[in-house]
Amino acid sequence: MTDTSDRSRVKAVETTLDIVQFLHQAGSASIDAVADGVGIGTSTAHRHLTTLHERGYIVRDGNEYALSLRFLTHGGRRRETLPANELIHRKVRQLSEETSERVQFITEEHGERVYMYTHAGPDAVKTDATIGKRGPLHVSAAGKAILANLPADRRKQILDGTAAPETAEREALDAELETVRDRGYAFNDEESTVGLRAVGVPIRHGSDTVLGAISVSGPANRLTGDYFHEELPNLLLGTVNEIELNIEYL
């Protein structure tokens, strides 16, 4: 029996998106490289690339093809639809200047964390957190802050796909998320990167919508003691409270 989801999918669209993903990873590639990388014939690759080029979604330099900035246009427009988008951006910048550390705002999409804004303060350490970068939610402070405040069934659905259920690690994570939900903020204590700590606080809209989370990250030798466990969380909670009040009256 044919799966219903298979019948509702369009093969040509899947091929086009596979090409987009391949070019995203490769940076640029020739028709032959695209065909080999995606697993399609050269003529098929040529037709898809020609269509994408004519619609402005890729650029061509000699025999090499690359994604165009049109994707940035669409992503930027999507970001602009977020409630209090400009205020969140401004607060990310202000927090980075006030703490001198790196501050980021992330949101959840398709069960992953997506960096929407990131700003480096004067003393911020370099990380791979760039706008648009994706990753699992449960390995970051902001991601855990989001997970803890999602509806239980949605949280379970996401975690079942990224953190194996019915294991000691999963039980510990579930318990941690319950604590995060109760106190209002999450920590990342060198869990994803040795020497890096972070504090994250969710931004909510109403009682059941999580817009995302703001986090401050920095080296473990600076984020210590009461500053890490009390001062930074309180600073973030105050900032988020202001954002949420503004959202309430949009």
The 10s digit of each residue's pLDDT in 117-170 is: 999 999 998 888 889 999 999 999 999 999 999 999 999 999 998 766 678 888
> Pick from 68, 101, 120: which residue ends a domain?
68
Do 113 and 189 reside in the same domain of the chain? yes
Question: Residue 220 sits in which domain range?
Answer: 75-248
Each residue's pLDDT tens digit, 205-228: 877 799 999 999 999 999 999 999
- C-alpha distances (whole Å) from 91 to each of 17, 118, 131 are 35, 11, 16
CATH number at residue 113: 3.30.450.40
Do 131 and 193 reside in the same domain of the chain? yes
Each residue's pLDDT tens digit, 81-119: 888 899 999 999 999 999 999 999 999 999 999 999 999
- C-alpha distances (whole Å) from 229 to each of 113, 180, 189, 241 are 23, 13, 11, 18
> Pick from 16, 46, 68: which residue ends a domain?
68
Q: Is 128:193 a contact under the CB 8 Å cutoff?
A: no
Q: Which residues contact residue 125 at a Cβ distance below 8 angstroms, ignoring those fewer than 6 apart?
A: 102, 196, 217, 218, 219
pLDDT higher for 77 or 222?
A: 222
C-alpha to C-alpha distance for 95 and 92, rounded to whole angstroms = 5
Do 57 and 82 reside in the same domain of the chain? no
Q: What is the value of pTM for the model shown?
A: 0.83
Do 84 and 58 reside in the same domain of the chain? no
Do 14 and 116 reside in the same domain of the chain? no
Do 63 and 86 reside in the same domain of the chain? no
C-alpha to C-alpha distance for 198 and 178, rounded to whole angstroms = 18
Q: Which residues contact residue 66 at a Cβ distance below 8 angstroms, ignoring those fewer than 6 apart?
A: 23, 27, 28, 29, 58, 59, 60
Do 96 and 209 reside in the same domain of the chain? yes
Structural domain tally of the chain? 2
